A and B are shown apart, each in its own frame.
Chain A
Amino acid sequence: MSDPLARRWRPATFLPESDNRDGSLTFVVSTLCFLACLMALTVLASNRAVNTWSDQLTSQATIIVRPRANETPDLAAARAAEALAGVPGVTEAHALERAKVEALVEPWLGDISDLKDLPIPRLVAVDLDNARPAAPSTLAAALKVRGIDGIVDDHSIWTRDIARSASIIRWVCGGVFLMITASAGAIIAFATRAGLLARREVVEVLHLTGAENLFIARLFQIRFAQLSAIAGALGAVGAAGVGAILRLTAGGGELTHAIPILWSDLLAVAPCPLVAALVAAIAARVTAERMISEIT
């Protein structure tokens, strides 16, 4: 107990400094903050993955070559590659060997290396200039001029699917994030109501001694904002830890291709304590003002 006549003395807070519900509340809010931060990291990682995949797909095109009656498939593919290599917006075009094409269709047809008579279409892989990629119609026209029967696949069907999937992921994560935020607010509001009821005698004494409702509400607002800031920091540190572990353990492996987390992404959790405190402050203030009016 500090001496009230000492020089550095400061009065105690009107609300008890600790409450037996604080531990549980901190745990619940920090868990929610942890999940919210994971959502944020997931959105960042999925966005980056989608962008990478889209870039890869849009910078390439595939030509399916059908040989004429008087030429071999390999010759037709070589002619197509030669024709496309000189088209503006194409950086490189090369015919895929039969073995590579067999490897590509193996997941659907199985091992067909011993079926030499099976008419496997020949493919030409075309790398496009990222800055000014050649349009599919330009590629088709170049083939037609050289009398080559080929189908141009610019992968647009895949990029559309990826963009749609990315959009769904973003909306779902955003929705989950909002639900978590709303849950945190509701929990703080519930805790505020419980705190007000538990401290009803404090509220009544302050009220009857001339404290304004706003003054009393602010006590609860500050209290829960501080608690939530601490819980938010704990949740953020936890989520950053998980992100760091993913980054460290996955390294350059497949997991980081699927969930490409950068070290800089971990900074995204930094505002969490502030956001948690803000949500708690608003929830506590609104709830406290309403309840004080009811009970006094």
Chain B
Amino acid sequence: MPEADLKILAYLELPQQAVSKRKDRLASWSDICDMHSFFRTAGVGSSPLTRLSANPFATDEVLRFDDVSLSYGRHAEALRRISFHLKPGSFHFITGASGAGKSSLMKLIYMAVKPTTGRIELFGHDVSKVSARDLPFLRRRVGVVFQDFRLLDHLSAFDNAAVPLRISGRKPDSYRSDVAELLTWVGLHDRMNAMPPTLAGGEKQRLAIARAVVGRPEILLADEPTGNLDADMSERILKLFTQLNRLGTTVLIATHDLAMVARSGMPVLHLEAGRLIRRGSGVER
């Protein structure tokens, strides 16, 4: 594996495993241990970080849906009585036709919408009971690649990628080399100063992925992450997701690309008209 890939993988590795298993590789990466991972590994204080940063490997489930329904208005039911749970470090695809409810399911997980009925647990926390003050800290443990990218047009590619780190309080000097290497790794080394409107579709997608993983989330959600990429880049992105998954990150990808799903051999949650009607191996209902 190329040295650049090794460094990126070391950076993206979840802190618990990074500290315990990859210490040798992390020796030159001391600056990547941000406050979040510090609190999580040191277990000090009682800040929202420590309250919400329980080790995902200490629980059997990183995500649980119990009889969850979601309606937009009185008659538009997007999801109907969805129940499933995901184990930490699992990798799943969500498939289904347009309008089947894939994006709605994603929105529920990254807490953009609240379920109409049912219960969602994320990292062992009932999402509906997490206080508004603590919710942002739970969100920081979730990386999201939005279907429409949601890049900030007035920020450079570099600044877009660094958004999660700045929000978590990292100083610019502490993250610029990390972000630069991550952008290099996704093939945007010569586009760091470019503004999003000047980027091609595939470049925007790769930038969105870089932003989603830069904070080393424990669960990574991607809504159609390869929709605008050519075959080579799709393969590379899938490989990135797989590598992240091997490092402990739970990955959930919503996609139309059934060929990619087939190639990966990963389990599938299949939605039809808002119902979860089929699951592949590794998914428990």
B137 touches A1 (CB 8 A): no
B11: Cβ under 8 A from any A Cβ: no
Contacts of B155 in A (CB 8 A): 12, 14
Question: Would you call A209 and B164 a contact (CB within 8 A)?
Answer: yes
1/0 per residue A1-29: CB within 8 Å of B? 11111000111101111000000000000
B150 near A205 with CB under 8 A, answer yes
Q: What A residues does B154 contact at CB under 8 A?
A: 12, 15-17
Given A1-B156, A3-B193, A12-B155, also A210-B112 (CB < 8 A): no
Instruction: Indicate if A206 sits at the interface (CB-CB under 8 A).
Output: yes
CA of A5 to CA of B159, assembled, Å? 12
Instruction: State the CA gap A213–B166 with chains docked (Å).
Output: 15
> Using Cβ atoms and an 8 Å threshold, which residues of chain B touch A201?
150, 152
* Interface contact A14-B156, CB-CB below 8 Å: no
User: Is there a chain B Cβ closer than 8 Å to A215's Cβ?
Assistant: yes
Considering only residues 150-189 of chain B, those with a C-beta below 8 Å from chain A are 150, 152, 154-156, 158-159, 162-164, 166-168, 172, 176-177, 179-180
A residues in contact with B180, CB < 8 Å: 4-5
* Interface residue? A212 (CB, 8 A): yes
| In the complex, residue of chain B having the shortest beta-carbon distance to the beta carbon of A1 | B193
- The answer to whether A142 has its CB under 8 Å from any CB of chain B is no
Give the CA-CA distance A208 to B144 in the complex, in Å. Answer: 8
| Cβ proximity bits B131-161 to A, threshold 8 Å, 1 near / 0 not | 0110011011000100000101011101100
A105 interface residue per 8 A CB criterion = no
CA distance A210 to B166 in the complex (A): 10
Q: For the complex, give the distance between the alpha carbons of A1 and B162 in Å.
A: 16
Chain B, interface residues (CB within 8 Å), range: 20 to 34
Please name the residue on chain A nearest to B134 by beta carbon: A212
Determine the main DSSP class of A at the interface with B: loop
Closest Cβ neighbor of B194 among chain A residues? A1
**A30-67 CB contacts (< 8 Å) to partner B:** none
Other-chain residue from B150, B158, B192, B193 in contact with A204 (beta carbon distance below 8 A): B150
Question: Judging by beta carbons under 8 Å apart, are A208 and B110 in contact?
Answer: yes
Q: CB of A291 within 8 A of chain B?
A: no
The contact string, 1 if C-beta is below 8 Å from chain B, for chain A 200-224, is: 0110111111111101000000000
User: Within 8 Å CB of B156, what residues of A?
Assistant: 1, 4, 12
| Chain B residue contacts of A209, Cβ below 8 A | 139-140, 144, 163-164, 167, 211, 215
Contact partner, A202, options B139, B140, B152, B172, Cβ 8 Å: B152
**How far apart are the CA atoms of A206 and B133 in the complex, in Å?**
15
A207→B152 CA distance, assembly (Å): 13
Roughly how many angstroms separate A37 CA and B38 CA in the complex, as a whole number? Answer: 51
A9-B176, A16-B154 known; A4+B163 contact, CB < 8 A: no
> A262 CB to closest chain B CB, in angstroms?
48
**A14 pairs with B136, CB closer than 8 A:** no
Q: 1/0 per residue A108-120: CB within 8 Å of B?
A: 0000000000000
Contact of A12 among B136, B150, B159, B168 (CB under 8 A): B159
Chain A: minimal CB distance from B276 (Å): 24
Chain B nearest Cβ from A247, distance in angstroms: 46
- With A5-B176, A16-B154: A11-B140 Cβ-Cβ less than 8 Å: no
Contacts of B132 in A (CB 8 A): 213, 293
> Given the complex of chains A and B, what is the CA–CA distance between A201 and B159 in angstroms?
16
Q: Which of A4, A11, A210 contacts B136 (CB 8 A)?
A: A210
A80-94 Cβ-contact flags toward B at 8 Å (1 or 0): 000000000000000
Contact: A4 with B192, CB < 8 Å?
yes
- Rounded to whole angstroms, the CA-CA distance of A154 and B177 in the bound complex is 85
Inter-chain CA distance A15–B144, complex, in Å, is 21
CA A205 to CA B155, docked complex, whole Å? 13
Contacts of A211 in B (CB 8 A): 136, 167
Contact B158–A4 (Cβ < 8 Å): yes
Contact with A along B84-114 (1 / 0, CB 8 A): 0000000000000000000000000011100
Please measure, in the bound complex, the distance between the C-alpha atom of A10 and the C-alpha atom of B192, giving whole angstroms: 14
Query: A9 to B177, alpha carbons, bound, how many Å?
Result: 12
Q: Can you list 18 A-B contacts with CB-CB less than 8 angstroms, sorted by A residue number? A: A1-B193, A4-B158, A10-B172, A11-B159, A11-B166, A12-B156, A14-B166, A16-B154, A201-B150, A208-B112, A208-B139, A209-B215, A210-B164, A210-B168, A211-B136, A211-B167, A212-B133, A213-B132
Additional A-B contacts beyond A14-B166, A207-B136, A210-B164 (13; CB < 8 A)? A4-B156, A4-B192, A14-B152, A14-B155, A16-B154, A206-B167, A208-B110, A208-B111, A208-B139, A208-B150, A210-B136, A210-B139, A210-B140
Cβ-closest 8 pairs across A and B: A210-B140, A210-B139, A4-B158, A16-B154, A1-B193, A212-B136, A211-B167, A210-B136
